[in-house]
Amino acid sequence: MKTTLQTLALAIGLMIVTAIPAWAGQGVGTSPYAADLLVSGLNTGELNPGQEYWYAYSRLDLGDPAYNAVILSLNFEAEGRAIASRVNFQVFDFEQVDAWLRDSSGPVDSLGLGTSASADFDVNTGERFWAGPIQVNEVYYVRIFNLSPSPVQFRLTALGQKSPQIDAFMATGRSGLTDQVVIPAAATSPTGARDVAGDDAAIVSPPAGPRSLDLALPVAPAEDVSSLSTNWLLAAQAIQGL
């Protein structure tokens, strides 16, 4: 009888272990499964070569349910223009990130890709901008990736906006570029990412599991629309204290 109970307990234990999704133990930011919460203002981090970091946001996450648009400003330290050209970010809605997770080996649609702009004309720093609408009860994902051979420190600023004419709020960095250039999945995720715990992570009904690809194509430079980004940059600098 005792042996039977022990065997039954072991079987139940194995069932529980195998039922736990593999993504449950991932560190925050390592994939859309465990996307970090993007807060209004400054978000900072560091990416080693081949790493990526994921954020998720909604209207409420940015601090005001009346926000119907967002400006994202990515600034990072690099080691020359060749490094900076291989660091950028993408923005996805849920359906798009689902498609990315299922197959990121080819062109994948996204809401946008960071647009190059330079505030200081320094080849050792990089700036990327994107702006777009935020729908009610929708969650969006930001993937920052470093496909360069050097580590980078990044600062991602999120600015919620109340735009009276949302159609006039230009979405910069439209995803058309991804139709021409395949942006591969980063090979690894930050080793220093903290563990998933409670409300610290924004986990929203994750679909199929991700798969890593070898580093491949560089990120083609986007069209320079820095003249359109001046006001955004000033707002970002005010928050970052630059």
Residue 58 sits in a domain whose CATH number is: 2.60.120.380
Domain that holds residue 163: 29-240
Contacts of 179 (CB under 8 A, 6+ apart): 107
pTM above 0.75, yes or no: no
Q: In this structure, is residue 130 part of a structural domain?
A: yes
Cβ neighbour number for residue 212 with a 10 Å cutoff: 15
Q: In this structure, is residue 154 part of a structural domain?
A: yes
Cβ neighbour number for residue 218 with a 10 Å cutoff: 13
pLDDT (tens, 9 = 90+) of the chain, 242 residues, equals 544 444 444 344 434 333 334 444 568 899 998 999 999 999 999 999 999 999 999 998 888 888 899 999 999 887 766 677 889 999 999 999 999 888 877 777 899 999 987 766 666 678 899 999 999 989 999 999 999 898 989 999 999 988 766 555 555 555 444 434 445 555 444 544 433 333 443 334 434 443 333 333 334 444 444 444 445 445 544 544 44
The dihedral sign for the CA sequence 111, 222, 193, 188: positive
Structurally, how many domains does the chain consist of?
Answer: 1
Q: In this structure, is residue 24 part of a structural domain?
A: no
Residue type, 159: L
Q: In this structure, is residue 18 part of a structural domain?
A: no
E strands, 78-225, where? 87-93, 112-113, 115-116, 125-133, 140-146, 152-161, 201-202
Q: In this structure, is residue 151 part of a structural domain?
A: yes
